[in-house]
């Protein structure tokens, strides 16, 4: 059985090449505003990845950082100022925000045309309506980009998505359906989850639970896309899939680290380019 480890760096390089070509025809260099409240390690890691990717493809970025004690009113005022700045083409808001800040209010305020990570109700509705004029959440779209790069035809495929979040699970399901896949959305409370996974052609693991997908969940020849970012009992970075076990059965599998996370920032840059071109 052919066993392919689908590396995110390869997928990202393909997207980057396309961006650099299109950037030559852009009237201005696109600029992204990265907004961070506090200094959570996950936020800092994603911020570094986004900055590195934008630098690599030749785009601009401005970092706006705020103390985690900033009041709700003050943050909304600062956000509105950034949101209305004509020099900024796209906004990446690192979430979740501190509990005292009304995140839903921010999602409602962000201009859909600058919402390059697909958090606004307008863009989310467009994902569900299969409307290409919106922006899907970057991680969900990164799953599709990886499958396309691997020349996996989704039409007619049975896909099990483990996870129901608005960031990955639900939008990924909608994007898969748009590509004519037959999708089953599961979660940690699903009855006989291993059985539902074994019946699929493709498994998208996005539950946020370290190594929950073991060899019992899979059969020989399946395609496994691991979107999870977790720490195992030894504190090592790992996905939702037990890679060592499952890779022996999978025909195609993404690693963690080095998988879908590497693609997400390239999708972000791709969205930024489109936002700048449409402005």
pLDDT tens-place string over residues 126-152: 999 999 999 999 999 999 999 999 999
In the chain, what are the domain boundaries?
A: 27-111, 138-260
pLDDT at position 268 is: 98
The answer, yes or no, to whether residue 123 has pLDDT greater than 90, is yes
Half-sphere exposure of 34 (CA within 13 A, CB side): 21
What confidence tens digit (pLDDT) does each residue in 30-73 have? 999 999 999 998 899 999 999 999 999 999 999 999 999 999 99
Average pLDDT over residues 197-215: 97
Architecture of the structural domain at 27-111: 3-Layer(aba) Sandwich (3.40)
Q: Is 83 helix (H, G, I), strand (E, B) or coil?
A: helix
Confidence of residue 255 (pLDDT cuts 50, 70, 90): very high
CATH 3.30.230.70 applies to domain 138-260: no
Fold equal for 27-111 and 138-260? yes
Confidence at 13, pLDDT banded by 50, 70, 90: very high
Q: How far apart are the first and last CA of the chain?
A: 48
Q: How far is it, in rounded angstroms, from Cα 173 to Cα 170?
A: 5
Rounded CA-CA distance 174/179 in Å is 9
- C-alpha dihedral sign at 69, 117, 200, 149: negative
Return d(Cα 263, Cα 7) in angstroms, integer.
9
Q: What does pLDDT average to over the chain?
A: 96
Preceding omega of 96 cis (within 30 degrees of 0): yes
């Amino acid at each position: 059985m052919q066993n392919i480890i689908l590396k995110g760096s390869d997928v990202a390089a393909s997207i980057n090449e396309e961006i650099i070509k299109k950037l030559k025809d852009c009237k201005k260099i696109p600029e992204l505003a990265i907004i961070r409240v506090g200094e959570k390690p996950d936020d800092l890691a994603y911020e570094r990845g986004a900055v590195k990717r934008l630098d690599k493809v030749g785009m601009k970025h401005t970092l706006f950082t705020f103390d985690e004690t900033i009041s709700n009113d003050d943050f909304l005022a600062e956000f509105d100022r950034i949101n209305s700045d004509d020099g900024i083409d796209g906004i990446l808001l690192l979430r979740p925000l501190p509990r005292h800040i009304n995140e839903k209010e921010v999602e409602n305020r962000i201009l859909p045309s600058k919402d390059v990570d697909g958090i606004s109700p307008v863009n989310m509705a467009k994902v569900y309506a299969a409307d290409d004029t919106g922006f899907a959440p970057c991680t969900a779209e990164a799953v599709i980009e990886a499958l396309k790069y691997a020349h996996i035809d989704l039409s007619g495929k049975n896909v099990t998505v483990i996870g129901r979040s608005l960031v990955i699970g639900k939008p990924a399901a909608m994007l898969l359906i748009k590509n004519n896949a037959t999708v089953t959305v599961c979660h940690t409370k699903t009855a006989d989850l291993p059985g539902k996974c074994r019946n699929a052609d493709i498994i998208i693991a996005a539950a946020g639970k370290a190594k929950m997908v073991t060899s019992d969940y899979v059969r020989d020849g399946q395609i496994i896309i691991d979107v999870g970012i977790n720490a195992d009992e030894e504190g090592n970075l790992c996905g939702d899939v037990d890679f060592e076990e499952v890779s022996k059965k999978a025909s195609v599998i993404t690693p963690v680290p080095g998988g879908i996370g590497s693609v997400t920032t390239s999708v972000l840059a791709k969205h930024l380019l489109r936002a700048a071109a449409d402005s």
